[in-house]
Structure 1
Amino acid sequence: MIVYPDSYYAASANREVDYPALAESLTADICVVGGGYSGLATAIALQEKGYQVVLLEGAKIGYGASGRNGGQLVNSFSRDIDHIEKHYGLQTAEALGGMAFEGADCIRDLIKRYNIDCDYKQGGFFAAFTDKQLKGLEQKQKLWQHYGNDKLTLVDQSSIKNIVDTNAYVGGLVDEHCGHIHPLKLALGEAAALVKIGGKVFEQSKVLNIEELKASNDKTVIVKTAQGQVTAKKLVLAGNAYMGNLQPELAKKSMPCGTQIVTTEILPAALAQSLIPSQYCVEDVNYKLDYYRITADNRLLFGGGVTYGGGDPASIESFLKPHMDKIFPAMKDYKIDYAWGGDFLLTLNRLPQLGRIGENIYYTQGYSGHGVNTSHLAGKLLAEAIHGDSSRFDVFAQLPHYNFPGGRLFRVPAVIMGAWYYGLRDKLGL
């Protein structure tokens, strides 16, 4: 049996339900593979539209990135809208820009409609170390305002201490449209919501084989696990970095990358409040960025770094603690209670991959570090497409995506070299 990693989230989620492993043959309208945000958001949206949905998770609900991430509802995509316009044209940029802030609204809507207790707090802050970075945030403010985000405020160094108590930054951008959550609580709440409206959820049910049947007009997909199978009209693949090689053509277009998080012991309430008076989540704008926030029980949660190819460094605490202490020198006297890592899925162009394989297999993957919001948007778009309106889904599906050159043997070193270059630019302030 696969269990959760030893994370703060797993220790504090108060999980009350264990879903059974699939041990029978079922028939459904839709089979969804993956019990993270992508699969859950898709399954809920389709079940709400009247489809009978079965969701299969190979481990536990939220076992992958959805239950391990920084918990920040970050808007837009890993490549922002100006980059999309430059490389893919104004029409595509306008279409994607119109969806760039929808994911956070999808999450808030689910929280409200299904009464999901996931420690939601509103607001986030993008922090700049240099004047050049601050200028970039000023441009981001104008860009995002153009696409409808009117909840942005640029701040200079004189106002920083009202947001976060550090001398590290020269300014930043407040985004009241984003926020932060306990990610595993959100995933578990979404699974409960799916079951409440009639969907079926199975854990410890790794998919071993997919078989398409194309007899006359009755095209179906048979999804097999070790002890059971699901026969469905449509299949959604939503395993992301934890799907393995189930569909080799998707694996070639992406690469798992690891990120790490530490969480301190419980801090005195006054200290926790003083570190981030705004109660926002914070992330800097370096290429290899750090991100952090205060949890509901007054811990400092701090994450960052990237390990290309997935996995964790030898000591997560030794890797991240110096970053934390640089931002908050007072943290040198407080111990780390939890340290864990998890993988997200990187694409070559850092844009999400949504598409179809044949007529009745759909997929979504590769949010490249922006998965909390974008996965929920993707779930909504997949449901729209399967229900008959693929107009918004097709904007993503038509984006060109390429295999990483040279296969896995060469793609990791190539990406590391690129990351080293941009990391050096961060350090030099270029």
Structure 2
Amino acid sequence: MTQRVPHTGSYYAATANPAPERPPLTEAIEADVCVIGAGFTGLSSALHLAEAGFSVVVLEAARIGYGASGRNGGQLVNSYSRDMDVIEKSQGMDVARVLGSMAFEGADIIRDRIAQYDIQCDYRPGGVFMALNKRQMHELREQKALWERYGHTELDMLDQSDVRDVVNSERYVGGLRDRRGGHIHPLNLALGEANAIEQHGGRLFEDSPVTRVERGERPVVHTGHGRVTARFVMVAGNAYLGGLIPELAAKAMPCGTQIVTTEVLGEERARSLIPQLECVEDCNYKLDYYRITGDFRLLYGGGVTYGGGDPASIERFLRPHFEHTFPQLKDVKIDFAWGGDFLLTMNRLPQFGRIGDNIYYAQGYSGHGVTTTHLAGKLIAEALRGQAERFDAFAGLTHLPFPGGRLMRVPYTAIGAFYYGLRDKLGI
């Protein structure tokens, strides 16, 4: 009997909606598309494909939403990890125009999914970027002008007199509200999308790690106890893919981030911290991000561990962060602490592409995965239906390996992060 892999000990796992355990794959089956990984990339791809009439099989090594998709901060942050100004300079205006036309689509896809399938995932609208100094306020004004140039106008600058209406903290000098942002319970979103896939005839198998992909005209995806023969394979393992597809490991690096969740505070105390219950992130390079959960806890995350993994004590690591932001929570009890890995690329832009004619992949969202994964799934479905222009705009991006290869990517990146972290502290 296959050993069931439990979710990590997160707040999300403890408050997940009831869901069936999907069985492991134990037979040889066929499908139009075999999706490897049941995180947001895989689920979004599978749902768009199943809606379009493809027969879809999803293979998950552990549980639905086991990786970053079920562990993240739950914030719907628009655009990409590198914003449009960087894309304009590095990729050119033609590419920027195409990517810019999609930069705010992912969050809308999520809202549509929630409404269409009645997914109960504690959705709340509104997200705020908070500045800790004048330099960051200048950057937020530039960001507002940039996003407005690409068609996103639901933005409001916040000066120092507005801060307490958003966050009851002394740390900030102002901010930028994104009314097209928001936040969710990400694991419940993933579980709802899995249910929707099954409504359209898709099949999902848990505890079915893929051992190898046999390439060819009709690729065969092997697990320990079964196999799927398909017309197309969609690789969506991201930071949890391991070495299954070697050519995907060279240009990306797993990184860890950590989150804590307090005891239940109650609505009154929660609103005394974040009056309008929006999600918040600061503008530091190594940023802090936080929000109020559906049951009125403070969920607070931050920090990066290059190469993946967690510090020895997540609570000891993060408590100074949230106490600095909210000194009034100095004695609050922490009920949950957990970590998870996301996948970082050298240029911080997502990696989409094909291996041969029938193996597709999307990965490397570099911390902006909640929204961009949902866009990725839509583009994959478009490409397999013969409309590949938008997918190819991402697939054509230039991606370089980390300096020094896999051996040196962690120390080199950590040196860069130290430099930017020092700039954050000095406010320059």
Question: Which TM-score band (shorter chain)?
Answer: over 0.9
Supply the AA of the counterpart residue of 1:174.
Answer: R
Alignment of 1:327-338 (within 5 A): 327-338=325-336
In 1, are the aligned partners of 2:133 and 2:173 still within 8 Å (CA)?
Answer: yes
1:202 corresponds in structure 2 to: 205
User: Which of 131, 135, 141 does residue 138 from structure 1 map onto?
Assistant: 141
Structure 1 position 118 matched with structure 2 position 121: yes
- Partner Cα distance (1:116, 1:387) in 2: 27
2:291 corresponds in structure 1 to: 293
1:349 corresponds in structure 2 to: 347
Offset of 1:42 from its aligned partner? 0.3
Alignment of 1:8-47 (within 5 A): 8-47=11-50
- Partner Cα distance (1:283, 1:15) in 2: 30
Offset of 1:405 from its aligned partner? 2.9
1:156 corresponds in structure 2 to: 159
Structure 1 position 389 matched with structure 2 position 387: yes
- Partner Cα distance (1:133, 1:148) in 2: 22
2:273 corresponds in structure 1 to: 275
Structure 1 position 72 matched with structure 2 position 70: no
- Partner Cα distance (2:353, 2:249) in 1: 14
**Cα-Cα RMSD:** 0.7
SS in 2 for 1:198: coil
- Paired-residue identity, %: 61
Supply the AA of the counterpart residue of 2:108.
Answer: D
In 1, are the aligned partners of 2:19 and 2:191 still within 8 Å (CA)?
Answer: no
SS in 1 for 2:46: helix
Aligned length: 425
TM-score (norm 2): 0.98
Supply the AA of the counterpart residue of 1:164.
Answer: V
5+ residue gaps, structure 2: none
Of 417-426 and 399-408, the range deviating more from structure 2: 399-408
Supply the AA of the counterpart residue of 1:301.
Answer: L
1:216 corresponds in structure 2 to: none
Structure 1 position 59 matched with structure 2 position 62: yes
SS in 2 for 1:158: helix
2:186 corresponds in structure 1 to: 183
2:398 corresponds in structure 1 to: 400
User: Which of 302, 305, 313 does residue 304 from structure 1 map onto?
Assistant: 302
- Partner Cα distance (1:87, 1:401) in 2: 11
User: Which of 240, 254, 269 does residue 238 from structure 2 map onto?
Assistant: 240
Of 362-371 and 401-410, the range deviating more from structure 2: 401-410
User: Which of 128, 132, 152 does residue 129 from structure 1 map onto?
Assistant: 132
Offset of 1:367 from its aligned partner? 0.1
1:264 corresponds in structure 2 to: 262
Alignment of 1:356-375 (within 5 A): 356-375=354-373
1:415 corresponds in structure 2 to: 413
- Partner Cα distance (1:256, 1:93) in 2: 26
SS in 2 for 1:85: helix
SS in 2 for 1:223: strand
In 1, are the aligned partners of 2:343 and 2:364 still within 8 Å (CA)?
Answer: yes
Supply the AA of the counterpart residue of 2:325.
Answer: I
- Partner Cα distance (1:353, 1:92) in 2: 14
- Partner Cα distance (2:280, 2:304) in 1: 18
- Partner Cα distance (1:229, 1:268) in 2: 49
Offset of 1:232 from its aligned partner? 0.1
- Partner Cα distance (1:401, 1:327) in 2: 37
- Partner Cα distance (2:267, 2:78) in 1: 29
SS in 1 for 2:172: coil
- 1:165-189: CA deviations, max 9, x gaps? 1111000000000100000000000
Offset of 1:274 from its aligned partner? 1.1
2:94 corresponds in structure 1 to: 91
In 1, are the aligned partners of 2:266 and 2:295 still within 8 Å (CA)?
Answer: no
In 1, are the aligned partners of 2:131 and 2:282 still within 8 Å (CA)?
Answer: yes
5+ residue gaps, structure 1: 214-218
- 1:2-49: CA deviations, max 9, x gaps? 110111000001332110100011010000000000000000001111
- Partner Cα distance (1:358, 1:154) in 2: 47
In 1, are the aligned partners of 2:126 and 2:183 still within 8 Å (CA)?
Answer: yes
- Partner Cα distance (1:87, 1:210) in 2: 34
- Partner Cα distance (1:52, 1:226) in 2: 22
- Partner Cα distance (1:274, 1:331) in 2: 11
